[in-house]
Chains A and B, each alone.
Chain A
């Protein structure tokens, strides 16, 4: 399927080499953040529960933005996911413990809030909504 490059007259060299000569495809994260969040949204006949989709997106967003932050919030679904199983899980735990310790030593950690709190709200809202609808 890769030999289509150069054979068919293409308008655009999508299969062309990326900048820097590496020929790596987009990563799963790259594609996920695009096709879950972006692109054309038309409601099909199968009404995918948007609450759930958004729940997933929020999870992914949390993962993409900050694993540590999500873990603090008790959202740790990816830890059980073999695909995302953490090679350096031990190190991560250690890092977090150390960061907390450093924050203490520096006299009070000022964790940046960013928009995590709103994500939490949305999540809990949707979790409860979902709990009510299923079963």
Chain B
């Protein structure tokens, strides 16, 4: 299935030598990585992790087969959650291991170069923006806070009562739905004030799309899904504040996690 198209030589040059070779998968770029930070951590497919250095910057990489991570296979695999899940978990595991010991800019999933020279070239080319991104996250970590309203209005219809008719059933469902809407808009407001509260205690914040209950594994409606960039020295009070908020709002499920690698805050300046 090798594509050979003489019309697009330059653009397709990368495609033609793809199927049988290997590539270097880049997990993250960091600064001042401890030599033993990656001890005991493996890369994708159990491959050993390696580093590519340019000045102060270190890219953490491992070898992947292009039969799996080449353009065509990737195109298929990225649509396949069963393939994606372990790759995503491994990517995250490696990034975490790096970020424990060094300021870390996680790379987007599936950033792959042919060899270490190409990785080094990327570090050279993006040197300044990468340094700036690392400056922004140095000494800081990402915290995730989600607020979920539990579906308690389900309980307002009495399950003991027999359903008399189809109309009766629908009426009850309607009542439950209306109750849900009212409590949800109140919860939205509450979520807003929680977000403002936490944002004031963070150097940056970012709201992410609310997750569906089936993905998040939590029944109920997610009214806040946010990420906060918190200085390390403020982490403890930040966590304490989340706990306070959770305690003060027993009707909400307040789920705070952290510290995480700064996934939502390590961006390159657009240029």
Q: Interface of A with B (CB < 8 Å)?
A: 1, 4, 8, 10-16, 18-20, 24, 26-36, 38-42, 44-49, 52-53, 55-56, 61, 63-67, 77-78, 81-84, 86, 98-99, 101-102, 105-106
Expressed in whole angstroms, the Cα–Cα distance for A12 and B97 within the complex equals 11
Expressed in whole angstroms, the Cα–Cα distance for A67 and B28 within the complex equals 32
Contact segment of B99-107, B156-164, B184-192: B99-107
B145 (CB) vs chain A CBs: closest residue: A19
19 A-B pairs with CB atoms under 8 Å apart are: A4-B40, A10-B100, A11-B232, A18-B257, A19-B256, A19-B257, A27-B215, A28-B89, A31-B91, A33-B211, A39-B108, A39-B266, A40-B28, A46-B74, A47-B71, A49-B75, A67-B214, A84-B215, A102-B174
Main secondary structure of the interface of B (DSSP, over half): mixed
- Residues facing A in B85-133 (CB within 8 A) are 85, 88-89, 91-92, 95-96, 99-102, 105-114, 118, 122, 126, 130, 133
Q: Mark B169-205, 1 if CB is under 8 A from A, else 0.
A: 0100110010000000000000000000000000000
A98 (CB) vs chain B CBs: closest residue: B173
Please tell me if B210 contacts chain A, counting CB pairs below 8 Å. Answer: yes
Q: What residues of chain A lie closer than 8 Å to B36, measured between beta carbons?
A: 8
Report the minimum CB–CB distance from A30 to chain B (whole Å). Answer: 6
Option from B111, B211, B246 in Cβ contact (under 8 Å) with A42:
B111
Residue contact A49 to B40, C-beta cutoff 8 Å: no
Residue contact A52 to B263, C-beta cutoff 8 Å: no
Residue contact B110 to A46, C-beta cutoff 8 Å: yes
Expressed in whole angstroms, the Cα–Cα distance for A33 and B111 within the complex equals 16
Residue contact A65 to B174, C-beta cutoff 8 Å: no
Q: Mark B2-27, 1 if CB is under 8 A from A, else 0.
A: 00000000000010001000010010
Option from B99, B106, B208 in Cβ contact (under 8 Å) with A33:
B208
B240 (CB) vs chain A CBs: closest residue: A19
Please tell me if B250 contacts chain A, counting CB pairs below 8 Å. Answer: no
Option from B210, B242, B264 in Cβ contact (under 8 Å) with A19:
B242
Report the minimum CB–CB distance from B189 to chain A (whole Å). Answer: 17
Residue contact B268 to A19, C-beta cutoff 8 Å: no
Interface size class of B (residues with CB under 8 A): 35 or more
Expressed in whole angstroms, the Cα–Cα distance for A28 and B189 within the complex equals 28
Q: What residues of chain B lie closer than 8 Å to A41, measured between beta carbons?
A: 107-108, 111, 268
Q: What residues of chain A lie closer than 8 Å to B23, measured between beta carbons?
A: 44-46
Option from B66, B101, B267 in Cβ contact (under 8 Å) with A40:
B267
Please tell me if B260 contacts chain A, counting CB pairs below 8 Å. Answer: yes
Expressed in whole angstroms, the Cα–Cα distance for A18 and B242 within the complex equals 11
Please tell me if B216 contacts chain A, counting CB pairs below 8 Å. Answer: yes
Residue contact A31 to B92, C-beta cutoff 8 Å: yes
Report the minimum CB–CB distance from B31 to chain A (whole Å). Answer: 12
Option from A45, A48, A63 in Cβ contact (under 8 Å) with B215:
A63
Please tell me if B243 contacts chain A, counting CB pairs below 8 Å. Answer: yes
Residue contact B257 to A40, C-beta cutoff 8 Å: no
Residue contact A38 to B144, C-beta cutoff 8 Å: no
Expressed in whole angstroms, the Cα–Cα distance for A27 and B216 within the complex equals 7
Q: What residues of chain A lie closer than 8 Å to B79, measured between beta carbons?
A: 52, 55-56, 77
Q: Mark B59-84, 1 if CB is under 8 A from A, else 0.
A: 00000001001110011001101101
Q: What residues of chain A lie closer than 8 Å to B210, measured between beta carbons?
A: 64-65
Please tell me if B41 contacts chain A, counting CB pairs below 8 Å. Answer: yes
Option from B69, B91, B212 in Cβ contact (under 8 Å) with A64:
B212
Option from A13, A30, A35, A82 in Cβ contact (under 8 Å) with B108:
A35
